[in-house]
């Protein structure tokens, strides 16, 4: 997630902007920049890499002024570079903007502006906003911003400044966080509270559809039609460390709660406006491209491997193409049957996992086409692969992956639908139904969060046990593997996942009275079989926690307690069903007093073999 800051006052704006951006470094970024109103013009300084690079640039080329905006970028559209860094300006430097989020219809706007002779400098979606300001300027800065916002589709926190209105900056939001800090003779804008804590604790928390006109002597909030809104001052009483985590105790919990936005961002511009088709502008495949695939090879490690296991079901059932899933560290050593008819899909949150990168190179050496699914623009995997699908989860700070996993599932399900759509396997009706259910997921996550007190209570059942088991069938088995991994990596409880049908083949010998068993039963086509498996472990006095759909009435009859997830299509429900497993692992680890964000012996990105 990118960082935004803004300042209007009497002191040097650059001092606050650089300090504020430093306070947001924990969010992760690949470039940084500021724009300052400096002697009748907007001066921009921006550099790729760490904030120290920007500081050195400003030291060599100082800027002076009392109004400005700043940004740390996490690349989505266009790789990390000086040019792609924010702020962006129009051709004449009359408008400057910084942006968090995704402009879904940026290509449509860009093509319109190109016909008018506008010259674009970057590869970003954000730059269109600056040029659109210049194109729509009617002599009234505030009215121009409103007209620009009417043209945009997507998610955003946006901050605008203009040479034509040098006493103010304007900000607004939709789906992305934004606050206004209230000072004495100066006011501030930020995407997160830590940026302003050293300056003020009085804030306005901006809501979707609100626009703030920020001057040094006041802040005026309106709706997008210009109607005044009375805002209540929110006084921050967190310390700086808590503020970085948004008031959450750990980054992992914060990132669990960021999943609705991360999923929404990953889905948003990959569905047509009518909701009847999937589009991947970054792939632009033809039906022939899909029909030429003899098999799909999915390569990944850890949590990404578990996402690949579900992607096998997605692609085989929705596109009817055979799929193999390989652990990256094993792939190279088995003399695999990979050739030019193979599409290798490489999944990696960081894009730097050394085993995954080596497996990608080996698959390419054997002639396979390669497609990376990763969260980091410009990463090694994204550069090495022939094509890339980015998940827009934003940076993950906690070692245990949460939002990266759910956005991988969302992107891979969309990819499977896209393939089935192109090769004629899926009807328009089937695609529409799947997309309707996918669109509901971000809001449905909130229903799961409402059960958090139940999850906390259940966590107590684990603290006295050294072992726990997860069982599931079909897609629930892959999900069980991810649930077990989450529990063992942060709670240090030995946890194993088994296919429900394998219980009689040895696993039942491990079931003793009171042992916790998490039984996933969200897949309707195998529910009867799964209930039979649950009864087998209940007969041996296991303590069974069921995960089932909200409308299900059978699973609850056979388990000790059931956690419900919202009803959804069988292919979509795994994205929802993993959330209670993440929360359960988190609260067990907290009860055990473990360092949740930095579990022992583990690193966020594995860069040695």
Enzyme catalytic residues: 2, 604
Q: Judge whether 456 and 587 are in contact, CB under 8 Å.
A: yes
Strand order in the sheet with 387-390: 323-327, 295-300, 342-348, 369-374, 387-390
CA distance linking residue 157 with residue 149, whole number of Å: 11
Backbone angles phi, psi at 4, to 5 degrees: -125, 140
Q: How far is CA 254 from the centre of its chain?
A: 12
SS3 310: helix
Task: Give CA separation, 588 vs 145, 457, 543, in Å.
Answer: 48, 10, 16
Q: By 3-state DSSP, what share of the chain in percent is helix, strand and coil, each rounded to 5?
A: 40, 25, 40
Angstrom distance (rounded) from CA 17 to CA 361: 42
Work out the angle at residue 490's Cα, subtended by the Cα atoms of residues 505 and 563, and round it to the nearest 5 degrees. 65
What are the CB-based long-range contacts (under 8 Å, 24+) for 419-424?
419/285, 419/290, 419/293, 419/315, 419/318, 419/319, 419/321, 420/318, 420/319, 420/320, 421/277, 421/278, 422/285, 422/286, 422/287, 422/289, 422/290, 423/287, 423/290, 423/291, 423/319, 423/320, 423/321, 424/287
Distances (CA, A) of 80 to 29, 47, 124, 356, 519: 9, 10, 10, 22, 43
φ, ψ at 300 (rounded to 5°): -170, 175
Instruction: Please report the sign of the dihedral spanned by the C-alpha atoms of residue 459, residue 460, residue 462, residue 463.
Output: positive
Residue among 579, 541, 573 nearest 560 (CA): 541
Strand, coil or helix: what is 559? Answer: coil
């Amino acid at each position: 997630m990118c960082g935004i800051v803004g300042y209007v006052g009497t002191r040097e704006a650059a001092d606050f902007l650089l300090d504020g951006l430093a306070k947001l470094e924990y969010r992760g970024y690949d470039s940084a920049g500021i724009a300052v109103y400096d002697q009748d013009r907007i001066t921009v300084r921006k550099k790729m890499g760490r904030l120290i690079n920007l500081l050195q640039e400003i030291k060599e080329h100082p800027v002076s002024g009392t109004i400005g905006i700043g940004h740390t970028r996490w690349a989505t559209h266009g790789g990390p570079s000086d040019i792609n860094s924010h702020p962006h300006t129009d051709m004449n430097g009359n408008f400057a903007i910084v942006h968090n989020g995704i402009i879904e219809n940026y290509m449509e706007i860009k093509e319109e502006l190109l016909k008018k002779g506008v010259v674009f400098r970057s590869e970003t979606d954000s730059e269109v906003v600056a040029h659109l300001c210049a194109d729509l300027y009617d002599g009234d800065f505030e009215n121009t911003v409103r007209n620009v916002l009417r043209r945009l589709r997507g998610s955003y926190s946006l901050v605008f400044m203009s040479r034509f209105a040098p006493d103010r900056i304007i900000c607004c939001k939709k789906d992305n966080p934004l606050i206004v800090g209230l000072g004495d003779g100066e006011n501030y804008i930020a995407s997160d509270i830590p940026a302003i804590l050293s300056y003020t604790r009085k804030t306005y928390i901006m809501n979707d559809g609100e626009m703030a006109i920020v001057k040094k002597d006041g802040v005026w909030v309106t709706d997008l039609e210009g109607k005044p809104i009375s805002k209540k001052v929110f006084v921050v009483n967190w310390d700086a460390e808590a503020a970085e985590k948004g008031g959450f105790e750990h980054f992992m919990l914060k990132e669990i709660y960021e999943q609705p936005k991360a999923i929404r961002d990953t889905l948003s511009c990959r569905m047509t406006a009518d909701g009847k088709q999937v589009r991947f502008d970054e792939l632009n495949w033809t039906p022939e491209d899909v029909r030429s695939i003899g098999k799909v090879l999915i390569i990944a490690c850890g949590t990404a491997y578990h996402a690949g296991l579900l992607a096998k079901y997605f692609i085989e059932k929705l596109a009817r193409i055979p799929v193999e899933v390989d652990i990256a560290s094993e792939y190279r050593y088995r003399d695999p049957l990979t050739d030019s008819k193979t599409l290798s899909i490489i999944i990696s949150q960081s894009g730097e996992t050394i085993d995954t990168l080596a497996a990608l190179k080996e698959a390419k050496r054997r002639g396979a086409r390669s497609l990376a699914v990763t969260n980091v623009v410009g990463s090694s995997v994204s550069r090495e692969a022939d094509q890339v699908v980015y998940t827009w989860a934003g940076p993950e700070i906690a070692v245990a992956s949460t939002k990266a996993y759910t956005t991988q599932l969302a992107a891979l399900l969309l990819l499977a639908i896209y393939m089935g759509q192109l090769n004629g396997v899926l009807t328009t009706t089937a695609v529409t139904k799947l997309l309707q259910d996918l669109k509901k997921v971000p809001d449905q996550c909130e229903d799961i969060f409402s059960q958090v007190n139940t999850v906390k209570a259940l966590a107590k059942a684990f603290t006295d046990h050294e072992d726990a088991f997860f069982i599931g069938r079909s897609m629930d088995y892959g999900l069980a593997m991810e649930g077990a991994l989450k529990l063992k990596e942060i709670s240090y409880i030995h946890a194993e996942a088994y296919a429900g049908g394998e219980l009689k083949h040895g696993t039942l010998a491990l079931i003793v009275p009171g042992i916790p068993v998490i039984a996933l039963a969200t897949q309707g086509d195998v529910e009867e079989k799964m209930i039979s498996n649950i009864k087998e472990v209940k007969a041996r006095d296991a303590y069974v926690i069921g995960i089932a759909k909200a409308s299900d009435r059978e699973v609850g009859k056979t388990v000790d307690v059931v956690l419900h997830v919202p009803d959804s299509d069988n292919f979509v429900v795994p994205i929802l069903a993993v959330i209670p497993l993440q929360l359960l692992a988190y609260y067990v680890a907290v009860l055990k007093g473990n360092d949740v964000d930095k579990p022992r012996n583990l690193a966020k990105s594995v860069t040695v073999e």
